[in-house]
Amino acid sequence: MTTALITGSTAGIGAAFARRLAAQGHNLVLVARDTKRLAEQATELHDRHGIEAEVLAADLATEEGIAAVEQRLGDRTHPVDLLVNNAGFGNKGRYLEVSMADELTMLKVHVEAVLRLTSAATASMRSRGRGGVINVASVAAFVPRGTYGASKAWVVQFTQGAARDLSGSGVRLMALCPGFVRTEFHQRAGMGTDNIPGWMWLDADKLVASALADLARGKTVSVPDPRYKALMGVVKLTPRGLLGGMSSRTGRKYGPQ
């Protein structure tokens, strides 16, 4: 039986990955900050699907948290076959309205943690000749808008480059770029959602099913919905300056975690 490690597993897209993978019979390593919620999630998934669900409480905004997950990913006696780097957050406010401490924390979680955890996982996977990594980015990666979009653009570029370098090793990497998903993300960030049209909202469980299918097909970037695929096609043809203005009207964070 294979094992998947999911960061940010207790809510939103991370919780949807946990439900889907448990239903498919994968054992899980659940990573988040809230020990109580992790324990409740592990018990529920074990009781419902009969899988083993290991709990690892870690804050990926800290050195200790990243190091703890790195250590688990490097455990060759209990290998991880699939890593889902999902943990992330948004800051309310435009550039220079957000404190430098909060901006640096975002880079710690979205960039440093993704780099280090992907590296720890793929080193072990490459030695076994199999494995997969899904790095959750966002359609915000394709829109010039603040630190969030810039950090997610890094995730996409890094994942594509790493996938190219590991081609032929048996290890697959994919950047997942969802749009707006009904999760706790906006509430935690203090962001309003009244100005977001209903058609732009995605279902987390359907999104995860599509993402796992794209990983199996060998895609390195997944935009898992026809509506957003069409929208990204328009983005490619739109001048960057105009895109910046459009994203400003939509809000600081375009496309939730």
- Distances 227 to 5, 39, 255 between C-alpha atoms, Å: 29, 36, 13
Alpha-carbon distance 14 to 32, whole Å?
10
The question of whether 228 is a catalytic residue gets the answer: no
β-sheet bridge partners, residue 175: 135, 221
Query: Which ranges of the chain would DSSP assign to H, the alpha helix?
Result: 12-23, 35-49, 63-73, 100-107, 113-128, 146-165, 185-189, 204-216, 226-237, 240-250
Alpha-carbon dihedral sign for residues 137, 138, 139, 141: negative
- What's at 190, amino acid-wise? G
- What's at 179, amino acid-wise? G
- Region class of 75: left (phi > 0), else alpha (psi between -120 and 50), else beta: beta
- Distances 127 to 68, 124, 164, 257 between C-alpha atoms, Å: 21, 5, 17, 31
Contacts of residue 212, Cβ cutoff 8 Å, sequence gap at least 6: 20
Q: Single out the catalytic residue among 95, 148, 228, 254.
A: 148
Among all residues, which ones are annotated catalytic? 148
